[in-house]
Amino acid sequence: MLDSAPLALRVPLLQARSHSDSIFNEKKYFPVDAIETSRGCRFNCSFCTQRQVYKEITYRPIDEIIDEIKNTKYKYIFILSTDSDYLLNLCNKQVQYLTISPAQSTSAWGHFRKMLDSAPLALRVPLLQARSHSDIFFTDDNFGNDKNRTNELLEKLVPLKKKYMVHLSVNFLIDEEFIRLLKKSGCLAIGIGFESIDSESLKSLNKICNSTDLYFRALKNCVKYDILVNAGFVSGTLADTIESVQKTFEFANSFQFFSYNFFNILPFPKTPIYNRLLSENKLLYERWWLMDNVNFYDIPLYYTDNIKAEEMTKIGKHYWQELFYLKNIFKRFILSEYRLKTRIFILLINLYLKYIGRSSTFM
């Protein structure tokens, strides 16, 4: 849009793009910068809002992105995708997020400071390193929409010596040359939406890029190149059973992931899963996003042929909590194939996530 705009419009458009983060001064947020390289996603998962928000994928010029990164004051980058803006636009009111992330929680930084101050001296350096993973956000919906473009961007990141986290689909991670380039360009961790270990559940989600075989190959590459993995799982797909969700939990608990999401699916309006639930009269609240004080783990929003509404509220919460039982945190630490320093680092992060989750309603 900017490149094709008349010259008289380019200055106002550039001014609109620029921003000041002075409003966050003295606030208890993690210090972050936000950078966006693209919008949209080439996949059409049945529970995801991206195809509803962005009808097509758009990209910023790579040289412009690199110039912006050069001018950031942080060394570390966090490349992220989220559906939170979509929900906020629907609600037009305050929404309690189900995850604690640097850009979303005013209390997370305060929790971290208290934990750091009370931690033994030997733990303070790794904890400070944990904090620094999220100094800059890339807000891409899917960083791997165009592999050639992604490779070009990664090559130009190499000399900048930045550190970052990125969200990618699992099919990218079976390519060892691509993983090697990720590591060389400064990638510390990757967010992966595994969603489920069950093939029928993946099919019901239209998660065409996922398969169990790819999971193990991708994780093997991540361990080899010492790249951490932030794992996303869901429960309540239209094909899920109590047994299939249990198997997904067992898979999630078998690998030392950097962090976990294990949530019940939220049927966002206009998504394929919402439309199907609505047509089959399985939605308990048609306009659930307008409800006050909703805790999505305690109030069932729908049911399926295999899982009753009251069961739906229990399974996701149960497995989310179980992932952070101390016995499971240390089991994953013992069985991990990462090098010892990385295993200890992940252990500290898992314990930190358990710590900040104490005051939440679901952990």
State the pLDDT at residue 35.
76
Relative to beta strand 58-59, strand 38-39 is antiparallel
State the pLDDT at residue 275.
95
State the pLDDT at residue 303.
94
- Cα 185 to Cα 187: distance, rounded to the nearest angstrom: 6
- Indicate the average pLDDT of the chain: 78
State the pLDDT at residue 100.
30
Structure confidence by residue, pLDDT tens digits, 91-130: 333 333 223 333 333 344 444 445 445 555 444 444 444 4
Domain boundaries, the chain: 28-265+314-356
State the pLDDT at residue 14.
47
Percent of the chain with pLDDT over 70: 69
Quick one: average pLDDT of 334-358?
A: 90
State the pLDDT at residue 32.
56
Residue 251 has pLDDT above 50, yes or no: yes
- 186 backbone φψ class: left, alpha, beta (φ>0; ψ -120 to 50): left
Residue 197's nearest CA partner among 212, 208, 209, 207 is 212
State the pLDDT at residue 53.
84
pTM here is: 0.78
Q: Which CATH architecture has domain 28-265+314-356?
A: Alpha-Beta Horseshoe (3.80)
Least confident of 96-105, 118-127, 248-257, 276-285: 96-105
- Angle, nearest 10°, between helix axes 176-184 and 147-157? 30
Residue 182's nearest CA partner among 133, 137, 222 is 222
Structure confidence by residue, pLDDT tens digits, 184-235: 998 888 889 999 999 999 999 999 999 999 999 999 999 999 999 999 999 9
On whether the CB atoms of residues 143 and 169 are closer than 8 A, the answer is no
Residue 17 has pLDDT above 70, yes or no: no
pLDDT band at 83 (very low <50, low <70, confident <90, very high): very low
Residue 307 has pLDDT above 70, yes or no: yes
State the pLDDT at residue 207.
93
